[in-house]
Amino acid sequence: MVLAALLQLCPALAADRKNPPLPPLQALTPSLDQVAPQKELQGRIEDGYDPTVLSIPRSDSVSAYNAGLKLYQKGDFARALSAFQIALQSAERSFGAQDPRAQNARKAIASTAPHVSARRLLGYETAGKDIHDLKGTVTSVFPPSLAWLGGLKKGDLVTGAEKLRDGGYSLSIKRDGKLYSLNLRAGRKSEPQPSSSPMLSGSIKHPELLDQYRDRLASYDCALLIDCSGSMGDRIRIRNLSPDGRLLSRWNWCKQESLQLLSQGGSLFPYGITIVPFTRTFTVIGGARADRIARVFEDYTPDGGTNIAAPLAYMLSDYFKRKSSSRSTRPLAIAVLSDGEGNPDSLRHVIVSATQQMTSPREVVITFLGVDESEAGRPVIEALDNDLVSSGARFDIVDSRTFSELRQYGLLKMLVAALIEKQVE
């Protein structure tokens, strides 16, 4: 059983009813500085993808096995075991049970399984030598684990652990001299699973609904956050040709899709859309129509690093400011087109914090759309998609789609899918 994190104040830690309630653990994550958007994208910074968040390929046995070895060396035994299991099933499916690749995967599983405990399944490590003891000073938290999603941090002291009737745990956490609780219960599993198909478990299963619910977009303001980092200048690896027969860069592919969005759904966006190109800095362009969008892709050249959290935080903050001053503020649909994840901690905090300001589950939706991403996928974004509410968020506002789905259905339908995620999957 996979455990997911749900934060709430533990009554036992608040015996004095006269004192105000303590904040939830996840609320203690430092807030992101929100600065005015830059007029120009600037700087030459290498892509900021966090290499510590290791992805697990879903269908290639050798790549999954190698990912397992790296995770094992990092001490992330739970994900290492998952990687070896994926490697085994992929090897058996492709080469047979007696193939050396399958045999090596079995040996790796046998060696790794004894190291997996409830503590490590949750995704954290302590200074204690007993791997079955949940208590102790936290020495490591492994993103995108459920402990990480729940806000547990290195240096926290787990002072107590109680097993619950549903098989979960209630942890008592001490941070900066104050006590908090972290309740853990059964939840969805976000780790990729072995499959004969490259499609994810959350893939589109009812595409006919995408046309049926298309008009729902008309009640939303739409914002496109488009990665303009250096890697977006790379050519699309698949043979996705431009009209004149040349291979498209990721950046120009996004231009093509953005213009197609306006061409197909112009009547849905009478005020235009907001387009936000970003690297380490970002620019906000409101009310953009086809000619302005085309000019953005001509004016900017992919360069620099990736910071998704900053423009996302700005757009969300702007929405809540407008909402507080006007009841007629329209709900917000955000699509993030990127080939990476950026800083996982900032991204998690921005999204979870936004849900705490919401009053209805569909007033803000965010869909992360992979642009020519690797088969390994984006583990942090997949975890945010699958386990957001279980880790302390008020609502599930995140959807994510692979590049395969984005190419098949197009940007407009991916925005619709974000509005009706549960119906289409």
**Residue 127 Cα distances to 137, 154, 417, angstroms:** 6, 11, 44
Give the DSSP letter string of 97-116.
TTSHHHHHHHHHHHHHGGG-
Per-residue pLDDT of the chain (425 residues; tens, 9 = 90+): 334 443 333 333 333 334 444 444 544 433 334 444 443 333 222 333 344 577 888 768 999 999 999 999 999 999 999 999 999 999 999 999 999 999 999 999 999 999 999 999 989 999 999 999 999 999 999 988 888 887 889 999 999 998 888 777 888 899 999 888 887 664 444 454 444 333 344 688 899 999 999 999 999 999 999 999 998 998 886 655 555 556 789 999 999 999 999 999 989 999 899 999 999 889 999 999 999 999 999 999 998 888 899 999 999 999 999 999 998 999 999 999 998 777 778 888 899 889 989 999 999 999 999 998 655 557 888 888 888 877 767 899 999 998 989 999 999 999 999 999 888 87
pLDDT, residue 21, reads 42
The residue among 186, 144, 200, 78 whose CA lies nearest residue 383 is 144
| Residue ranges of the chain that CATH labels 3.40.50.410 | 208-424
Sort residue 250 into left (φ over 0), alpha (ψ -120 to 50) or beta: alpha
Question: What does residue 117 show for φ and ψ, rounded to 5 degrees?
Answer: -135, 175
pLDDT, residue 201, reads 44
Rounded to whole angstroms, how far apart are CA atoms 363 and 355?
10
Tokens read off for 371: 């642009």
Rounded to whole angstroms, how far apart are CA atoms 415 and 216?
10
DSSP 89: H
Ranges of H-type helices in 151-300: 208-212, 250-265, 290-299
Rounded to whole angstroms, how far apart are CA atoms 336 and 351?
13
Q: Where are the beta strands (DSSP E) in 107-241?
A: 124-126, 136-141, 157-163, 169-175, 178-186, 221-227
pLDDT, residue 424, reads 85
Rounded to whole angstroms, how far apart are CA atoms 119 and 116?
8
Order of strands, edge to edge, in the sheet holding 3-7?
3-7, 178-186, 169-175, 157-163, 136-141, 124-126
Q: Is the full-model pTM beyond 0.85? A: no
pLDDT, residue 202, reads 60
Could you tell me the maximum CA-CA distance found in the chain, to the nearest angstrom?
Answer: 72
pLDDT, residue 16, reads 39
Contact 397, 220 (CB under 8 A): no
CA–chain centroid gap for 105, Å, is 28
Contact 288, 304 (CB under 8 A): no
Rounded to whole angstroms, how far apart are CA atoms 52 and 93?
30
The residue among 23, 8, 345 whose CA lies nearest residue 182 is 8
**Residue 97 Cα distances to 58, 64, 80, 236, angstroms:** 18, 17, 21, 35
Architecture of 208-424 per CATH?
3-Layer(aba) Sandwich (3.40)
Q: Which residues pair with 158 in a beta bridge?
A: 136, 173
Contact 242, 192 (CB under 8 A): no
* Gyration radius of the chain over CA positions: 22
Contact 190, 200 (CB under 8 A): no
